Amino acid sequence: MVMQTLKQQIDALAAGQTTSVALVTECLAQIAAHNGQLNALVAVDAEKALAAAAAADAARAAGDTRAMLGVPLIHKDIFCHEGWKTSCGSKMLDNFIAPYSSQVAENCDAAGFVVVGRANMDEFAMGSSNENSFYGPVKNPWDKKAVPGGSSGGSAASVAAGFAAVATGTDTGGSIRQPAAFCGITGIKPTYGIVSRFGMVAYASSLDQGGPMAHTAEDCALMLNVMAGFDERDSTSLEHAKEDYTRDLNAPLSGLKIGLPREYFAEGLNAEIAGAINAAVEQYKALGATIVEISLPNTKLAIPSYYVIAPAEASSNLSRFDGVRYGHRTAKTGNLDDMYEQTRAEGFGTEVKRRIMTGAYVLSHGYYDAYYIKAQKIRRLIANDFQAAFAQCDVIMGPVTPTTAWNIGEKNADPIAVYLEDIYTLGVNLAGLPGMSVPVGFASNGHPIGLQIIGNYFAEAKMLGIAHQYQQVTDWHTKAPQL
């Protein structure tokens, strides 16, 4: 049962073919057998999970018809969940027990999910490889020498390894789509503001967005129905009418116009990835879609723009971690300034310090206009490029990353090389658009390859339907790693 999809688990529970206790027990057994190798989860509470599963079974027996009641779930360790440690992959929050729940956790609890664990992640969501965690790197279930992608690598690895059928993730510059691609699963980053950021530890507030990670597009649609919704506690939450994201799953694709950006297929793209993407596009043509060549001329400027804006926002957001109110505090004595400095020196990892310093620099007097304001102007140009493209096509398709998963430690000496892996994903966040990753094959080294689908604002249901139709005629999403 552990390698079933979310939909299969929902149907099995509704039909009385299994129980929540049985599902959770199998997930916990899978975690116990393989998490020691993968390091995908940083917290597991078997007693709490089994008690919640038993309560869910009792509620179902008493007539509770909630579809998700008793289904196992894994939360990325960035979502506050009352009573659970919420570390955000950092020593700074290693002792922090959340006193309240995020909107995402509240919604999942209300739907009846049973949380079986908390997923490892890059510290404060800063990274593309899940090597930047205080708890050590996550390993890719398809190749334990390789990274799973980041920052939601623990969530992606957990779904791929069968620890749960679905997990929550967050995406600031590709952190749902890239690990989904590297681990051979499906993941979607919704339109900015669709999923509340309340109780989601902030990295870059104008870019962060939560979303689901699962085996299939159908599962992501079901999960997004739970996660999405207006939240007055989040000033960036959109007052958007509640949607059913499953509504277009069976919509035919005849007449669909797919835009292929020439900049996404230029120098630097791995030939095997290009081949897999082209094969997927051919499959879409067979399903009735037509292809339009488009241009996103400012694609190359997404990296420098993002790596000014995101660190600037991070330097502001992370200033709250000072050792005074919560989290790590140095044991070394001294005056208040010494305490601040030593606490942050001990509590933050290398990549977080690098981004805080970069952000503080670009926001400093004399550099704000030269860097930060200019990056925001470029951000607008990138958003305009996408709108011009959507005048010609319904969705945009291309690769998620220029390469497949690299080996753990391979790029540690060159952080810029890791930043360059985000070339195809960053623009989506800068523009606030929805984007998703769908498995479309494997490279010769056995590493999964993902197709990126980008839609216009609020096009999640259409995108999920487009992905679902592809998954109805292919089986890449059904492949499972040999653990």
Residue-wise pLDDT for 451-463, tens only, equals 999 999 999 999 9
- pLDDT tens per residue, range 280-299: 999 999 999 999 999 999 99
Given a contact cutoff of 8 angstroms between Cβ atoms, the answer to whether 57 and 19 are in contact is: yes
To the query of whether residue 101 is one of the catalytic residues in this protein, the response is: no
Structural tokens at position 12: 């099995």
- 186-189 and 166-170: which strand pairing? unpaired
pLDDT at residue 344 is higher than 90: yes
- pLDDT tens per residue, range 305-336: 999 999 999 999 999 999 998 999 999 878 89
Overall pTM > 0.95? yes
**pLDDT, averaged across the chain:** 97
To the query of whether residue 175 is one of the catalytic residues in this protein, the response is: yes
Catalytic annotation, pick one of 7, 76, 139, 462: 76
Task: Please report, for the chain, the start and end positions of each structural domain, with discontinuous segments joined by +.
Answer: 6-252
- Helix or strand or coil: residue 280? helix
Distance CA 4, CA 162 (A): 8
Residue 160: band (very low, low, confident or very high) from pLDDT cuts 50, 70, 90: very high
Catalytic annotation, pick one of 20, 87, 101, 175: 175
- pLDDT tens per residue, range 204-245: 999 999 999 999 999 999 999 999 999 999 999 999 999 999
The dihedral over CA atoms of 47, 215, 223, 27, expressed in degrees to the nearest 10, equals -10
Task: Give the count of alpha carbons within 13 A of 344, CB side only.
Answer: 17
- pLDDT tens per residue, range 51-107: 999 999 999 999 999 999 999 999 999 999 999 999 999 999 999 999 999 999 999
* Beta strand segments in 356-412, E: 395-399
pLDDT at residue 2 is higher than 90: no
Beta-sheet strand order (sheet of 395-399)? 41-44, 114-119, 72-76, 166-170, 210-214, 186-189, 435-442, 448-454, 395-399, 257-261, 290-294
The dihedral over CA atoms of 87, 91, 93, 97, expressed in degrees to the nearest 10, equals 70
- pLDDT tens per residue, range 263-279: 999 989 999 999 999 99
To the query of whether residue 353 is one of the catalytic residues in this protein, the response is: no
- Report pLDDT for 383: 98
Residue 1: band (very low, low, confident or very high) from pLDDT cuts 50, 70, 90: low
Distance CA 266, CA 399 (A): 11
Catalytic annotation, pick one of 87, 128, 151, 315: 151
Structural tokens at position 477: 């999403």
Q: Which CATH number fits domain 6-252: 1.20.120.1810, 3.40.50.880, 3.40.50.10210, 3.90.1300.10?
A: 3.90.1300.10
